[in-house]
Amino acid sequence: MMSNHSSATEFCLLGFPGSQELHHILFAVFFLFYSVTVMGNTVIIVIICVDKPSLAVCVFALLGAMAVDRYVAVCNPLRYNTSVNSRTCISVVIGSWVFGFLSEIWPVYATFQFTFCKSNVLDHFFCDRGQLLKLSCDGTVFTEFVLFLMAVFIIIGSLAPTIVSYTYIISTILKIPTASGRRKAFSTCASHFTFVVIGYGSCLFLYVKPKQTQAAEYNKIVSLLIYVLTPFLSPFIYTLRNDKVKQALRDGVKSCCQLIKD
C-alpha cells in the first residue's frame, strides 16, 4: 500500500502565525537574542584564549558533570584544584560531545526511514522531530516509545548526579553558621542551578512524554525556552557571576585602552 505513495523530501516551515507586523517584531526580537548570544560566546572564547580563566560550557551531559563540580567546590573546597584540573575538564567535554553525537544517530536514521506522504508543511519554526512524525503515513508508535526511553535515559540520567550533588550542597550550606557564609556558598552554584531549572524544566515538558507528537503551539513555546532563551542567558549566567572572567574582562579593557593611548 505504502509503495504507491511518494515520500516528501522537502518541508515548508510554517513558523509563527500572525500578521506581517508580528513577524517583523518576532524577527527583530529573535535576531537581537541571537546577536547577543553570538557576541557573548565570542567574548567568552576571546577571554579564554587571552587570559585562560576557569570556565565550563553546558549541555545536558555537562550539566550533570558541573553539578559534581559545584559539589566539590562547596563541600570539599581544599581538594578542588587537584580534583578539577585541565585533564579532567577536557575528558568530560570530549565524553559529553561523543555521547551527544552517538545518542542522535539512531533517532535521525529512524525518522528518515518513514514515508512522509500526508503533507510537506511542518507547523514549527525548525525541523522538530515530533511534528515531523505527524506527517508520516507509517506507524510511529515504536519509534516514539524508543525516543521516550532515550529522553528518560539522557535527561533523567544526567539529572540524577545533579540532584545528589545539590542534596549534599544544601546540607553543607545549612551547616554554615553565618548568613554571609551561606550566601557566598550559594552564589557559587546559583548560576548552574538557574541553568538547570530552565534547561531541564523545559526539556522534561517537551521530550519526556510517551507521545512525541504533542500540539504544535505548546511545542513552539517550550522550544523557545530551550533554543532561544537558554543560549541567550548562558553567557550572562556563566560570565557575569564568575570573578575570574570579570577580572579578565577588566584587564582586557585596560590593555585596549593602554594601546589606544600609546
Task: Give the residue, 155 or 260, on which the prediction is more confident.
Answer: 155
Band (pLDDT 50/70/90 cuts) for residue 174 is: confident
Answer whether 0.85 is exceeded by the pTM. Answer: no
Q: Which three cell numbers stand for residue 62?
A: 555537562
Helices H, strands E: what count in the chain? 11, 2
Nearest-angstrom CA–CA distance, 164 and 158: 11
Residues of the chain above pLDDT 90, percent? 0
The pLDDT of residue 55 is above 70? no
Asked whether 232 and 37 are in contact (CB, 8 A), the reply is yes
Residues 6+ apart with CB under 8 A from 171: none
What's the pLDDT score for residue 210?
58
CA R_g for the chain: 22
Asked whether 246 and 240 are in contact (CB, 8 A), the reply is yes
**One-letter identity of residue 213:** T
The mean predicted confidence, pLDDT, of the chain is 76
The pLDDT of residue 89 is above 70? yes
Return the domain boundaries, the chain. 54-208
Asked whether 143 and 133 are in contact (CB, 8 A), the reply is yes
Residues 6+ apart with CB under 8 A from 227: 126
The pLDDT tens digits of the residues spanning 185-226 come to 777 777 777 777 877 777 777 776 656 555 667 777 777 877
Q: Which three cell numbers stand for residue 118?
A: 500526508
Largest CA distance in the chain: 78
CA 132 to chain centre: 22
User: How distant, in Å, are the alpha carbons of 183, 205, 215, 233 from that of 209?
Assistant: 37, 7, 12, 26
Partner residues linked to 212 by β-bridges: none
For cell 524577527, the residue is 27
CA angle 76, 81, 85 (to 5 degrees): 125
Q: What is the DSSP letter of 122?
A: E
Q: What is the DSSP letter of 240?
A: T
